[in-house]
Homo-oligomer: A and B are copies of this chain.
Amino acid sequence: MGAERITSLQNPRLKQLVKLRDRGARDAAGQFLIEGYREVKRALAAGVKPGELYCGPDWFLGENEAALIAEAQEAGAVVFELSKDAFAKVSYRDRPDGLLAVAPQWRRTLEDLPRGNPPLLLVVEAIEKPGNLGTLLRSADAAGVDAVIVCDPVTDIFNPNVVRSSTGVLFSMPVVVAAGAEVQAWLRARGVRTVATTPAATTLYTETDLRGPLALVMGSEQYGLSESWLKGCDQLVRIPMAGQADSLNVAMAAIITLFEAVRQRSRRC
């Protein structure tokens, strides 16, 4: 593959890769990490153009790595070959598979969103755990959501654990990061009905109309939705809970509500 070889653990490129695990370094560089064969493959398929691809052939698990490396090179990536130890240093996975890409971050605004007809949007507020944000993206993808709007984020969408837990959906799903007030005004101006899930609501999520232009709104793990969303939403709904108060986390509540929307929207009425 004609790649530059890196064996020194002191190589500044390796140090930068480790730094990119932290948000500050990611934002400063405008870049983020994509680790793993599946993730890199999906990034390329979605049109992401990694600037660099770091390979640790000692860690390769399959036989298709060469083809993927060629694909990344065609997309413009500079390829580096790392010794076993060097790759171990830069990998943040339990089980590395020898592939780690660095790609430029992107920013989408509300105006970039596709206009589904009628659109189904997922709005999440101040999600704290990267794993939850990634799972929310997966759920949105499975439910055919047109876009995910991340309000007032606590974890940034380019966190390595968001990349991983979204199983690549981050690359294909339109994701917008914006302030809550701006999002509320935008949804209102476009006539998108907002339905939020909160334990305090009296209406069941199955008892409200989830067809038409719709934004499902989910709050943070610890604090739920902010007052501004609770007051501003067109409808508050709850999911009936049979067990412990905290059996449903935000990702579970989202997928239940999203698939009720799918059910209602697919009915011929």
Determine the chain B residues whose CB is within 8 A of the CB of A255 once the complex forms.
Answer: 252, 255-256
Kindly specify which of A17-25, A26-34, A83-91, A237-245 makes contact with the partner chain: A237-245
In chain A, residues 222-261, which have Cβ atoms closer than 8 Å to a Cβ of chain B?
239-244, 246-249, 252, 255-256, 259-260
Q: A135 to B131: give the CA distance in the assembly, Å.
A: 14
CB–CB B259/A168 < 8 A: no
CB–CB B247/A139 < 8 A: yes
A206 close to B (CB within 8 Å):
yes
**A206-B263, A239-B259, A259-B239 in contact; A168/B244 too (CB < 8 A)?**
yes
Kindly specify which of A57-65, A141-149, A190-198 makes contact with the partner chain: A141-149
Q: A244 to B240: give the CA distance in the assembly, Å.
A: 29
Determine the chain B residues whose CB is within 8 A of the CB of A252 once the complex forms.
Answer: 135, 138-139, 142, 255
Closest to A251 in B: B252
CB–CB A142/B242 < 8 A: yes
Q: A42 to B256: give the CA distance in the assembly, Å.
A: 26
- Determine which residue in A240, A241, A247, A248 has the highest number of CB atoms from chain B within 10 A of its CB, and name it: A247
Q: A249 to B166: give the CA distance in the assembly, Å.
A: 12
A184 close to B (CB within 8 Å):
no
Determine the chain B residues whose CB is within 8 A of the CB of A169 once the complex forms.
Answer: 243-244, 247
Closest to A240 in B: B262
CB–CB A141/B240 < 8 A: no
Closest to A266 in B: B240
Determine the chain B residues whose CB is within 8 A of the CB of A243 once the complex forms.
Answer: 138, 141-144, 169, 172-173
A167 close to B (CB within 8 Å):
yes
Closest to A244 in B: B141
Q: A172 to B255: give the CA distance in the assembly, Å.
A: 24
**A167-B247, A255-B256, A263-B260 in contact; A241/B206 too (CB < 8 A)?**
no
CB–CB A242/B168 < 8 A: no
Determine the chain B residues whose CB is within 8 A of the CB of A138 once the complex forms.
Answer: 243, 247-249, 252
Determine the chain B residues whose CB is within 8 A of the CB of A144 once the complex forms.
Answer: 242-243
Determine the chain B residues whose CB is within 8 A of the CB of A172 once the complex forms.
Answer: 243-244
Q: A241 to B169: give the CA distance in the assembly, Å.
A: 14
Determine the chain B residues whose CB is within 8 A of the CB of A249 once the complex forms.
Answer: 138
CB–CB B262/A141 < 8 A: no
Can you show 6 pairs from A to B with CB atoms below 8 A apart?
A142-B243, A142-B244, A142-B248, A167-B244, A172-B243, A239-B259
